[in-house]
Structure 1
Amino acid sequence: MGKSHLIQNQVKQNLKSYYQTMTTTRLRYLGLLEGLSLLSLLYITMPLKYKYQMPLPNQILGMVHGILFVFYVVFLYQIKEELNWSWQKTIQLFLCSVLPFGFVYVEWKELWK
Protein backbone atom coordinates (compact mmCIF):
# COMPACT_ATOMS: atom_id res chain seq x y z
CA MET A 1 0.00 0.00 0.00
CA GLY A 2 2.87 2.39 0.71
CA LYS A 3 4.43 2.00 -2.73
CA SER A 4 1.17 2.60 -4.60
CA HIS A 5 0.57 5.71 -2.48
CA LEU A 6 4.02 7.05 -3.44
CA ILE A 7 3.37 6.34 -7.12
CA GLN A 8 -0.02 8.03 -6.88
CA ASN A 9 1.55 11.14 -5.30
CA GLN A 10 4.27 11.21 -7.97
CA VAL A 11 1.66 11.01 -10.74
CA LYS A 12 -0.30 13.87 -9.13
CA GLN A 13 2.84 16.00 -8.89
CA ASN A 14 3.77 15.25 -12.50
CA LEU A 15 0.27 16.16 -13.70
CA LYS A 16 0.30 19.38 -11.68
CA SER A 17 3.72 20.31 -13.07
CA TYR A 18 2.55 19.50 -16.61
CA TYR A 19 -0.60 21.60 -16.15
CA GLN A 20 1.43 24.56 -14.85
CA THR A 21 3.87 24.31 -17.74
CA MET A 22 1.13 24.09 -20.37
CA THR A 23 -0.83 26.93 -18.79
CA THR A 24 2.14 29.28 -18.65
CA THR A 25 3.12 28.29 -22.20
CA ARG A 26 -0.36 29.24 -23.41
CA LEU A 27 -0.04 32.58 -21.61
CA ARG A 28 3.33 33.18 -23.26
CA TYR A 29 1.92 32.45 -26.73
CA LEU A 30 -1.07 34.69 -26.09
CA GLY A 31 1.28 37.41 -24.83
CA LEU A 32 3.39 37.02 -27.95
CA LEU A 33 0.35 37.39 -30.21
CA GLU A 34 -0.91 40.36 -28.22
CA GLY A 35 2.51 42.03 -28.31
CA LEU A 36 2.93 41.49 -32.03
CA SER A 37 -0.54 42.88 -32.66
CA LEU A 38 0.37 45.99 -30.65
CA LEU A 39 3.59 46.49 -32.62
CA SER A 40 1.74 45.96 -35.91
CA LEU A 41 -0.87 48.46 -34.83
CA LEU A 42 1.70 51.09 -33.87
CA TYR A 43 4.26 50.65 -36.62
CA ILE A 44 2.26 49.44 -39.62
CA THR A 45 -1.39 50.47 -39.47
CA MET A 46 -0.95 53.84 -37.73
CA PRO A 47 1.35 55.15 -40.49
CA LEU A 48 -1.08 53.78 -43.07
CA LYS A 49 -3.92 55.60 -41.35
CA TYR A 50 -2.25 58.98 -40.89
CA LYS A 51 0.19 59.15 -43.77
CA TYR A 52 -1.82 57.46 -46.53
CA GLN A 53 -5.38 58.02 -45.21
CA MET A 54 -6.10 54.26 -45.04
CA PRO A 55 -8.08 53.76 -41.81
CA LEU A 56 -9.44 50.27 -42.56
CA PRO A 57 -6.30 48.26 -41.63
CA ASN A 58 -6.11 50.20 -38.36
CA GLN A 59 -9.74 49.50 -37.56
CA ILE A 60 -9.42 45.78 -38.25
CA LEU A 61 -6.12 45.26 -36.45
CA GLY A 62 -7.28 47.53 -33.62
CA MET A 63 -10.25 45.27 -33.02
CA VAL A 64 -8.08 42.14 -33.18
CA HIS A 65 -5.58 43.68 -30.76
CA GLY A 66 -8.37 44.70 -28.39
CA ILE A 67 -9.80 41.19 -28.31
CA LEU A 68 -6.35 39.64 -27.76
CA PHE A 69 -5.62 42.13 -24.97
CA VAL A 70 -8.87 41.33 -23.15
CA PHE A 71 -8.20 37.58 -23.50
CA TYR A 72 -4.67 38.09 -22.17
CA VAL A 73 -5.81 40.05 -19.12
CA VAL A 74 -8.58 37.56 -18.28
CA PHE A 75 -6.26 34.58 -18.78
CA LEU A 76 -3.54 36.27 -16.72
CA TYR A 77 -5.93 36.78 -13.80
CA GLN A 78 -7.22 33.22 -14.11
CA ILE A 79 -3.67 31.85 -13.99
CA LYS A 80 -2.83 34.11 -11.06
CA GLU A 81 -5.68 32.55 -9.11
CA GLU A 82 -5.06 28.94 -10.18
CA LEU A 83 -1.29 28.90 -9.74
CA ASN A 84 -1.21 31.26 -6.74
CA TRP A 85 1.03 33.81 -8.43
CA SER A 86 1.89 36.95 -6.49
CA TRP A 87 0.29 40.26 -7.36
CA GLN A 88 3.77 41.60 -8.11
CA LYS A 89 4.34 39.01 -10.85
CA THR A 90 0.83 39.48 -12.22
CA ILE A 91 1.14 43.28 -12.38
CA GLN A 92 4.59 43.00 -13.95
CA LEU A 93 3.21 40.77 -16.72
CA PHE A 94 0.26 43.12 -17.20
CA LEU A 95 2.54 46.15 -17.54
CA CYS A 96 4.69 44.28 -20.05
CA SER A 97 1.58 43.66 -22.13
CA VAL A 98 0.86 47.39 -22.29
CA LEU A 99 4.36 48.47 -23.30
CA PRO A 100 5.60 48.05 -26.86
CA PHE A 101 8.26 45.33 -26.87
CA GLY A 102 7.21 44.34 -23.33
CA PHE A 103 6.57 40.79 -24.52
CA VAL A 104 10.22 40.61 -25.63
CA TYR A 105 11.30 41.31 -22.04
CA VAL A 106 8.98 38.57 -20.74
CA GLU A 107 10.34 36.05 -23.24
CA TRP A 108 13.94 37.06 -22.51
CA LYS A 109 13.36 36.69 -18.78
CA GLU A 110 11.70 33.29 -19.29
CA LEU A 111 14.54 32.11 -21.52
CA TRP A 112 17.25 32.99 -19.00
CA LYS A 113 15.58 31.86 -15.78
Structure 2
Amino acid sequence: MDIKTASALHRLRLISLPEALSFPALLIFGSLLMRVSDIDFLMPPLGMIHGILFTIYVVFLLDVWIKAKWPLKRVAFFFLLAVIPFGGLYGDKLLKQYEADGVIAARARREGTVSA
Protein backbone atom coordinates (compact mmCIF):
# COMPACT_ATOMS: atom_id res chain seq x y z
CA MET A 1 0.00 0.00 0.00
CA ASP A 2 1.49 3.33 -1.02
CA ILE A 3 1.41 6.42 1.16
CA LYS A 4 -1.48 8.09 -0.70
CA THR A 5 -3.68 5.02 -0.31
CA ALA A 6 -2.75 4.64 3.35
CA SER A 7 -3.49 8.30 4.08
CA ALA A 8 -6.83 8.14 2.23
CA LEU A 9 -7.80 5.05 4.23
CA HIS A 10 -6.70 6.74 7.46
CA ARG A 11 -8.79 9.86 6.67
CA LEU A 12 -11.82 7.68 6.03
CA ARG A 13 -11.28 5.89 9.32
CA LEU A 14 -10.93 9.19 11.19
CA ILE A 15 -14.26 10.52 9.90
CA SER A 16 -16.15 7.21 10.16
CA LEU A 17 -16.51 7.27 13.94
CA PRO A 18 -17.82 10.86 14.28
CA GLU A 19 -20.15 10.25 11.34
CA ALA A 20 -21.37 6.99 12.88
CA LEU A 21 -22.16 8.68 16.17
CA SER A 22 -23.62 11.86 14.69
CA PHE A 23 -26.89 10.26 13.58
CA PRO A 24 -27.94 8.71 16.87
CA ALA A 25 -26.32 11.28 19.12
CA LEU A 26 -27.35 14.43 17.31
CA LEU A 27 -30.46 13.72 15.31
CA ILE A 28 -32.26 11.22 17.52
CA PHE A 29 -31.39 13.16 20.66
CA GLY A 30 -32.46 16.41 19.00
CA SER A 31 -35.73 14.89 17.81
CA LEU A 32 -36.52 13.56 21.27
CA LEU A 33 -35.64 16.88 22.86
CA MET A 34 -37.85 18.70 20.38
CA ARG A 35 -40.80 16.40 21.13
CA VAL A 36 -40.64 16.72 24.91
CA SER A 37 -39.83 20.43 25.10
CA ASP A 38 -40.21 23.65 23.17
CA ILE A 39 -36.63 23.57 21.90
CA ASP A 40 -37.15 23.64 18.12
CA PHE A 41 -34.12 25.70 17.21
CA LEU A 42 -31.61 22.87 17.78
CA MET A 43 -32.64 20.63 14.89
CA PRO A 44 -31.36 22.71 11.94
CA PRO A 45 -27.80 23.07 13.29
CA LEU A 46 -27.68 19.44 14.45
CA GLY A 47 -28.94 18.28 11.07
CA MET A 48 -26.36 20.43 9.34
CA ILE A 49 -23.54 18.99 11.45
CA HIS A 50 -24.66 15.47 10.60
CA GLY A 51 -25.01 16.38 6.92
CA ILE A 52 -21.51 17.86 6.78
CA LEU A 53 -20.01 14.78 8.46
CA PHE A 54 -21.89 12.46 6.08
CA THR A 55 -20.78 14.46 3.03
CA ILE A 56 -17.14 14.37 4.17
CA TYR A 57 -17.48 10.62 4.76
CA VAL A 58 -18.82 10.06 1.23
CA VAL A 59 -16.05 12.20 -0.32
CA PHE A 60 -13.38 10.28 1.63
CA LEU A 61 -15.03 6.97 0.69
CA LEU A 62 -14.86 7.91 -2.99
CA ASP A 63 -11.21 8.90 -2.52
CA VAL A 64 -10.42 5.49 -1.01
CA TRP A 65 -12.36 3.79 -3.81
CA ILE A 66 -10.19 5.49 -6.41
CA LYS A 67 -6.84 5.15 -4.63
CA ALA A 68 -7.23 1.69 -3.11
CA LYS A 69 -9.12 0.33 -6.14
CA TRP A 70 -11.79 -1.21 -3.94
CA PRO A 71 -14.51 -3.23 -5.66
CA LEU A 72 -17.89 -1.53 -5.98
CA LYS A 73 -19.43 -4.06 -3.58
CA ARG A 74 -17.12 -2.97 -0.76
CA VAL A 75 -17.77 0.73 -1.41
CA ALA A 76 -21.53 0.13 -1.45
CA PHE A 77 -21.23 -1.86 1.79
CA PHE A 78 -19.39 0.99 3.55
CA PHE A 79 -21.94 3.48 2.20
CA LEU A 80 -24.75 1.31 3.56
CA LEU A 81 -23.00 1.11 6.93
CA ALA A 82 -22.92 4.92 7.04
CA VAL A 83 -26.68 5.09 6.47
CA ILE A 84 -27.60 2.54 9.15
CA PRO A 85 -27.54 3.95 12.71
CA PHE A 86 -24.45 2.63 14.52
CA GLY A 87 -23.42 0.80 11.32
CA GLY A 88 -20.41 3.05 11.07
CA LEU A 89 -19.05 1.56 14.28
CA TYR A 90 -18.71 -1.79 12.50
CA GLY A 91 -17.29 0.05 9.50
CA ASP A 92 -14.68 1.69 11.71
CA LYS A 93 -13.66 -1.73 13.00
CA LEU A 94 -13.29 -3.03 9.45
CA LEU A 95 -11.32 0.05 8.39
CA LYS A 96 -8.89 -0.47 11.27
CA GLN A 97 -8.32 -4.02 10.04
CA TYR A 98 -7.81 -2.89 6.41
CA GLU A 99 -5.39 -0.23 7.59
CA ALA A 100 -3.42 -2.71 9.71
CA ASP A 101 -3.34 -5.25 6.87
CA GLY A 102 -2.00 -2.58 4.53
CA VAL A 103 0.74 -1.61 6.96
CA ILE A 104 1.74 -5.26 7.43
CA ALA A 105 1.83 -5.82 3.66
CA ALA A 106 3.90 -2.66 3.12
CA ARG A 107 6.42 -3.73 5.77
CA ALA A 108 6.67 -7.20 4.26
CA ARG A 109 7.34 -5.72 0.80
CA ARG A 110 9.91 -3.32 2.24
CA GLU A 111 11.74 -6.16 4.00
CA GLY A 112 11.62 -8.24 0.85
CA THR A 113 9.65 -11.15 2.28
CA VAL A 114 6.77 -10.69 -0.18
CA SER A 115 7.08 -9.59 -3.78
CA ALA A 116 4.96 -6.67 -4.92
User: 1:55 is paired with a residue of what secondary structure?
Assistant: coil
- 2:37 is the counterpart of 1:37: no
Question: Using CA pairs below 8 Å that are at least 6 residues apart, which structure has the higher relative contact order?
Answer: 2
Alignment of 1:1-12 (within 5 A): none
- 2:38 is the counterpart of 1:56: no
CA distance in 1, matches of 2:96, 2:14: 14
1:68 to 41, 46, 53: 53
Unaligned ranges ≥5, structure 2: 99-116
Which AA in structure 2 matches 1:22?
A: S
CA distance in 2, matches of 1:106, 1:79: 14
CA distance in 2, matches of 1:110, 1:94: 13
- 2:89 is the counterpart of 1:104: yes
CA distance in 2, matches of 1:29, 1:70: 14
Contact 2:13–2:95 (8 Å) recurs in 1: no
1:80 corresponds in structure 2 to: 65
Unaligned ranges ≥5, structure 1: 1-12
The number of residue pairs the alignment matches comes to 98
TM-score (norm 1): 0.75
User: 1:56 is paired with a residue of what secondary structure?
Assistant: coil
Identity of aligned residues (%): 32
1:47 corresponds in structure 2 to: 32
Deviations along 1:15-57, whole A, 9 cap, x unmatched? x1x3323221210111111111111124311111111121222
Aligned-pair RMSD on alpha carbons? 1.9
CA distance in 2, matches of 1:82, 1:53: 47
